[in-house]
Amino acid sequence: MMRFSTLMKHPADWMTGADADSAIVLTSRIRLARNVAGSPFPGWARKEERIEILPVLREKVEAIPEMKDAFSHQLSELSSVQKQVLVERHLISREQAARSEGSAIVVNRNQTLSVMINEEDHLRLQSIRSGLHLREAYDLIAKLDEELEQMLPYAFDHELGYLTACPTNVGTGLRASAMLHLPGLVISDHIGQVIQAVAKLGLAVRGIFGEGTESLGHLFQISNQSTLGESEDDIINRLERVIQRVKEQERNARIKLIEDDPQMIADKISRAYGLLKYAYVIDSKEALTHLSLIRLGSDMGCFARETIRLCDSLLMDIEPAHLQHMAGRKLSPEERDTMRAKIIRSRLQNLKPPVISFITDQSSSNNPYPDTPPSA
């Protein structure tokens, strides 16, 4: 069985931006909610009932070929920091992290598939891919689902489809989502319109690291709300079309920023570079905002292309539980801010200063008096 330390040492490809085209869409995720007939949903079940059904479910999940030598643990075997690390890696939900006995997590070796057992539903099957690949992610998880349905009597209704603890998931039990990096739309102040338009189509837009009005690190998650009355294909196709559209708008916003105000964007990127490289105390919000600008700069050619991957691993590694896991002990917020700054400085050590190629001499950066013709 895979150990926690192994899981930590080898982050999944999707966590570090493996896809060549992950500059705007970082990851695609599919989740299926499934329950077994004849047993109460985990939230309503008595503790003994949860404990009783857990080994039955876990044995079947572990028996699937894709889950060979998986990371498989009861939540009660994990420390609170370890659970939080798994949340920060999107492998378990916050709801599951709050559970202990009678709940388990099974993650395949390359961390592309995870199965939460006795979370809100008996089974939550999840698949994550780098870039915009919802279809691929679905195909992977559908295979897992097909293997499980041979072994377990799913709770299924002729009219309502797959039955789930919460009526908002009933039907396909499918939640498809993608994580998008949208600094162009945020800086150009068009993000509000885009969110409104997406929401009008019945899709949800959320921030990634906080549920405030402003999303941290310019990261947004778009997902379907409706799970009933549409086929899996319809849901995925609709979402993919919308995300493709948002991606184009972000692309255009970035081009327009460079055309309209190259000084401003060069200033933001360069300041972010300076700040991250020389800060000794930095909180999560500030770090994410500036890392977002470095990420944007990499896409605009200011830094080497691989810098995007560097940013993506940093985004994860500077989160509170990751820091505490690295330190091997609980850290106060002040200690975390210091350690966060230290890690960022060391990771960015070899990052060369930004090359601002989109400011040409014509755009007068070198001539402080554009109206005065240079003397002959």
Partner 1 sequence: MQCDHCDNKATVFYTQIIDGISKKASLCEPCANKQGVTDPDGFLLGKDTAALGKPSAPKSVLQLETSMGKESTRSCPGCGFAFHDLKKTGRLGCSQCYEFFRKEIKNNLGGMHKGTSHTGRVPEGMLEAFAQRQRLESLQLGLDEAINSEDYEKAAALRDKISKLSEESPTLPEQPNQP
Q: Which of 22, 28, 35, 127 binds partner 1 (CB under 8 A)?
A: 35
Q: Which is nearer to partner 1, 97 or 296 (CB)?
A: 97
Measured in residues, the chain has a length of 376
d(CA 28, CA 176): 8
Asked if 333 interacts with partner 1 (CB under 8 A), we say no
Cβ neighbours of residue 34 under 8 Å, at least 6 residues apart? 121, 122, 123, 124, 125, 145, 148, 152, 154, 155, 162, 173
| CB of 35 or CB of 108, closer to partner 1 | 35
Neighbour count for residue 376 (Cβ, 10 Å): 3
Among positions 159-188, residues that touch partner 1 (CB under 8 A) are: 159-163, 165-168, 170-172, 174-175
Listed ranges 36-44, 289-297, 342-350, 361-369: which one lies at the site for partner 1 (CB under 8 A): 36-44
Least distance in Å: CB of 156 to partner 1?
A: 6
Give the nearer residue to partner 1 in terms of CB position, either 153 or 353: 153
Among positions 53, 104, 107, 155, the unique one binding partner 1 when judged by CB under 8 A: 155
Tokens of 25: 């869409």
Residue 31 binds partner 1, judged by CB under 8 A: yes
Distance CA 126, CA 111 (A): 10
To the nearest 10°, the Cα dihedral for 233, 221, 244, 113? -50
Give which of 89, 67, 179 is closest to 133, Cα–Cα.
179
Output DSSP code: residue 274.
H
Asked if 93 interacts with partner 1 (CB under 8 A), we say: yes
Q: Least distance (Å) from partner 1 to the CB of residue 135?
A: 15
What is the per-residue binding string for partner 1 in 217-236, x denoting contact by CB under 8 A?
----x---xxxxxxxx-x--
Closest CB to partner 1 among 163 and 275? 163
Sketch the per residue contact string, 195 through 214, with partner 1: x for CB under 8 A, - otherwise: xx--xx-x-xxx-x--xxx-
Run of H or E residues at 94: helix 94-97
- Is the Cβ of residue 112 or residue 307 nearer to partner 1 in the bound state? 112
Buried b (16+ CB within 10 A) or exposed e, 72-107: bbbbeebeebbbbbbbbbbbbbeebbebeebbbbbb
Interface with partner 1, residue 154, by CB under 8 A: yes
Instruction: Rank residues 92 and 310 by Cβ distance to partner 1 and give the closer one.
Output: 92
94 binds partner 1 (CB under 8 A): yes
Does residue 40 touch partner 1 according to CB under 8 A?
A: yes
Is there a contact between 107 and 70 (Cβ–Cβ < 8 Å)?
yes
Count interface residues toward partner 1 (CB under 8 A).
58
Count other C-beta atoms under 10 Å from residue 143's C-beta.
15
Check residue 274 for interaction with partner 1 (CB under 8 A): no
Q: Is 369 in the site for partner 1 (CB under 8 A)?
A: no
* 126 contacts 174 by C-beta, under 8 angstroms: no
Least Å distance between CB 208 and partner 1?
7
Q: What is the rounded distance in angstroms from the CA atom of residue 163 to the CA atom of residue 227?
A: 11
Strand, coil or helix: 115: strand
- Residue 225 to residues 173, 186, 316, 319, 366, Cα–Cα distance (Å): 11, 24, 27, 28, 52
Interaction with partner 1 in 123-142: which residues (CB under 8 A)?
142
- Cβ proximity to partner 1, 231 vs 365, nearer residue: 231
Q: How far apart are CA 44 and CA 55, in angstroms?
A: 18
Q: Does 103 bind partner 1 (CB under 8 A)?
A: no
User: Footprint of partner 1 on this chain (CB under 8 A)?
Assistant: 31, 35, 37-41, 43-44, 93-95, 120, 142, 146, 149-150, 154-163, 165-168, 170-172, 174-175, 195-196, 199-200, 202, 204-206, 208, 211-213, 221, 225-232, 234
